[in-house]
Amino acid sequence: MPQPLASLSVRRTIGSLSVAAALLCVAGAAAKADEAVDVIIRGGTIYDGGEGKPFVGDVAIRGDQIVYVGKSGRYSAGKIIDAKGMIVAPGFIDPHTHADSFIRSPDKAVRVNAAWLNQGATTVMIGVDGSGTPDVAEDSGKLAASGISTNIVPFVGFGPVRQRVLGQDARAPSPAELDRMKALVAKGMCEGAVGLSTGLFYAPQSFSTTGEVVAVAREAARRGGIYDTHQRDESSYSIGLLGSVKEAIDIGREAGMPVHFAHLKALGVDVHGQAGAVIAAIDAARKAGVDVTADQYPWLASGSSLDASLLPRWAVDGGGPALLKRLDDPTMLERIRGEMQENLRRRGGATALLLIAQGFPWTGKTLAEVAAEWKLDSRDAALRIIRQSVEAKDQGPRGGGTAVASFNMAQADVDLLMKQPWMVTSSDGSDGHPRMFATFPEKYVRYVRERKVIDLATFIRQSTGRTADIYKLDRRGYLRRGYFADVLVFDPDEYAPRADYVRPRELSVGVRKLFVNGALAVDDGRATGVVAGRALLRPRPAGCAAPLPG
C-alpha cells in the first residue's frame, strides 16, 4: 500500500470557476453501474502511463481522485467530456525545471505556471541542479499557499547547503563544517524533499570533492532520497564526460542510493559520439545493482550562461567581486582569456552561442554577431556582458544578461539516449530557452511524429509513469483507480510547440483539457486560473525523530 501523502493542499478557485469537491476520498470499490461521479472523459484513446497497450475507453473522476479507467463503466456525471479521437494520458511530470519566475511571481496570473500547463504538465520538480533550499517545509508551504496550478516536488540542494556553511570558497570543509552541511541536508529530507540535488558543474559546488558529496548524500540516502545531479562535467572541462558519469555512479554506490542524471547529454565537439559509452557505463552500473536513471530534453542547444560556459572556475572563486578584481589585473585577465579560448572552441565557437536573456541590446544575437558589432574579440565581448551583469547584480536585481543557448549537442547522441529504457523527459525549463514553454510538444512533434525516434507510447511513458516510479511519487503518473486525478486530454493532430529560440515564450497548443488534482486547470488550450497544485512532500522519514547530526 502506498503511504499517505503529506500534502499541503490548496484548493482555492478564482471567480466562478468552482472545482469539484475537495474531499480526499480513497476509492474503496470499483465504480458501480450509473454511479455518480464529477467528470467522465469518454471515448478517448487511453495511455495509462504503464507498459500496456493503449485502448479506447473512459476515465471517471470524483473529487481529486480517479475512480475508474476502463472500457465498460456506467456513470452519471455533471461534466461529460467527449474525448473521441483524443489522447488521454496522465498529466506530464517534469523532473527538472527552473520554474521559479512563474511559481514565485507576485502576479497571481503568472503563478498558474501556464508555460507548463499548456504542455500538459501537472507536476514539476524544483530546487534542481543543487539549488533547492534546505528550508523545504517553509518554502513549499509558502508556494502552495500562494496558489499555484501545477504540483511541485522539491529537492534539497547542495548549493545552498555548501554556501550557508562555506560561502563561495574553493576549499574543503572542516569536520565541524561538514557536520553542519550534513545537518542541513537531513533537515531538508526530514521536511519532505524527494532527494538531494547537486550541480557539481557550478561554482561553488564544483569546489567539492567526491568524498564530500558522498558524505552529505548519505544523509539523503538514509532517509530514502534520490541523488539527482547536474554532473560535474558534461563535456571536457575537468574530469570529462565519462569520468563524470563514473563519479556520479560512485557517489550513488557509496552513499547507497539511486542516481539520476539530469539533462543527460554529450556537450561539445570533444565528446560528440560518446553517448554509446555513457549508456554502456550506466547499463553496467544497473547490472551491478546501482539504480541509475536519467532525464533529457529534446533540444540540440543547452541553456547556460556566458560565465558558466566560458570562464575558468578559479576565476569565480569568491564570487562576483573577486571576479571583477581579477579582470582588472592584466596578468590575470590574460590567463582568463587564454582559458576562455579553449572553452569557446569546446562549445563550437562564438557562432554557437546565442544570447537569449530577454530585454538586452544583445538579445537574440550570437556572441559572434555582438563581438563584430562592438569590434571586439568574442572573448572580450563576453567579458563585457559578464562584467555588466555582475555590476548590475551589485546594484539590484537586474542582472542575468549572460544567459545563452549553447548549440553543442549532436543529433545522433540525443536520439540514442532517448531510446534507453531508463530515460525520461525533462524540460530543464529556464527563462529565455524555448524548452521552458515547449519541451513536451517539441519531443512529440519532432521525435515521435516527424523523425519517429520513439513511438507515442514510449513518449507518454517517459513523461508520466516511469518518472513517477523513479521519484517514488505517491499515486501519480498513472491513470489508475485511487490515483490522484492529474489527467491530460490532448489532440494528437494539434498538440505542438510554438516557441523557438527567437521567440521562446510562446505557449504550446493542442491541450484540450488538463486536470490537476481533479480540478480543470486547462480548458481548450487556455489556463482556467484554477490553482489546485499541491506541494508533494514525502512523509517524514525514519531517522528524523532523533536530534539531527551536528
Residue 129 makes contact with Zn ion by CB under 5 A = yes
Stretch that binds Zn ion, among 41-49, 126-134, 324-332, 373-381 (CB under 5 A): 126-134
Omega prior to 204 cis, within 30 of 0? yes
Place of cell 481533479: 518
Of residues 46 and 405, the one with the C-beta less far from Zn ion: 405
Question: Least separation, in Å, of the C-beta of 444 and Zn ion?
Answer: 23
Residue 388 in 3-state DSSP?
helix
Residue 285 identity: A
C-alpha cell at 52: 500496456
Site size toward Zn ion (CB under 5 A) is: 2
Q: Residue 356 and residue 281: Cα distance in Å, rounded? A: 34
| CB count in 10 Å sphere of residue 10 | 19
Of residues 235 and 458, the one with the C-beta less far from Zn ion: 235
CA distances from 263 to 303, 317, 489 (A): 11, 26, 26
Stretch that binds Zn ion, among 151-159, 229-237, 354-362, 439-447 (CB under 5 A): 229-237
* Run of H or E residues at 141: helix 136-146
**Residue span 80-119 as binding mask against Zn ion, x where in contact by CB under 5 A, dash where not:** ----------------------------------------
Torsions phi, psi for 317 (to 5 deg)? -60, 120
Question: Least separation, in Å, of the C-beta of 264 and Zn ion?
Answer: 11
Residue 475 makes contact with Zn ion by CB under 5 A = no
| Contact call for residues 279 and 292 (beta carbons, < 8 A) | no
Question: Least separation, in Å, of the C-beta of 232 and Zn ion?
Answer: 12
Stretch that binds Zn ion, among 124-132, 244-252, 303-311, 440-448 (CB under 5 A): 124-132
Q: What distance lies between CA 518 and its chain's CA centroid?
A: 23
Helix, strand counts (H, E) of the chain? 18, 23
C-alpha cell at 208: 567539492
Crossing angle of helices 378-395 and 320-327, in 10° steps, is 140
Segments in 191-305 forming alpha helices (H):
210-221, 241-255, 275-287
Question: Least separation, in Å, of the C-beta of 294 and Zn ion?
Answer: 12
Question: Least separation, in Å, of the C-beta of 96 and Zn ion?
Answer: 7
Stretch that binds Zn ion, among 45-53, 208-216, 226-234, 432-440 (CB under 5 A): 226-234
Question: Least separation, in Å, of the C-beta of 52 and Zn ion?
Answer: 33
Residue 69 in 3-state DSSP?
strand
Of residues 64 and 129, the one with the C-beta less far from Zn ion: 129
C-alpha cell at 139: 518554502
Question: Least separation, in Å, of the C-beta of 138 and Zn ion?
Answer: 24
Question: Least separation, in Å, of the C-beta of 130 and Zn ion?
Answer: 9
Stretch that binds Zn ion, among 97-105, 228-236, 396-404, 489-497 (CB under 5 A): 228-236
Residue sitting closest to Zn ion (CB): 230
Question: Least separation, in Å, of the C-beta of 230 and Zn ion?
Answer: 3
Of residues 150 and 302, the one with the C-beta less far from Zn ion: 302
CA distances from 152 to 54, 99, 255, 514 (A): 28, 10, 26, 16
Of residues 31 and 405, the one with the C-beta less far from Zn ion: 405
Q: Residue 400 and residue 403: Cα distance in Å, rounded? A: 6
Of residues 65 and 305, the one with the C-beta less far from Zn ion: 305
Question: Least separation, in Å, of the C-beta of 415 and Zn ion?
Answer: 21
Of residues 124 and 516, the one with the C-beta less far from Zn ion: 124
Query: For the chain, what percentages of helix, strand and coil (3-state, to nearest 5) are there?
Result: 35, 20, 45
Of residues 129 and 486, the one with the C-beta less far from Zn ion: 129
Those residues with Cβ within 8 angstroms of residue 125's Cβ, 6 or more apart along the chain or in another chain: 94, 95, 96, 97, 152, 153, 154, 155, 194, 228, 471
Stretch that binds Zn ion, among 26-34, 224-232, 285-293, 515-523 (CB under 5 A): 224-232
Residue 348 in 3-state DSSP?
coil
Residue 232 makes contact with Zn ion by CB under 5 A = no
Stretch that binds Zn ion, among 223-231, 405-413, 454-462, 540-548 (CB under 5 A): 223-231
Q: Which of 11, 187, 230, 379 binds Zn ion (CB under 5 A)?
A: 230
Of residues 187 and 265, the one with the C-beta less far from Zn ion: 265
Residue 262 identity: A
Of residues 230 and 435, the one with the C-beta less far from Zn ion: 230
Of residues 129 and 295, the one with the C-beta less far from Zn ion: 129
Torsions phi, psi for 427 (to 5 deg)? -100, -35
Of residues 230 and 433, the one with the C-beta less far from Zn ion: 230
Q: Residue 238 and residue 220: Cα distance in Å, rounded? A: 26
C-alpha cell at 154: 522539491
C-alpha cell at 70: 476502463
Question: Least separation, in Å, of the C-beta of 205 and Zn ion?
Answer: 11
List interacting residues with Zn ion (CB under 5 A). 129, 230
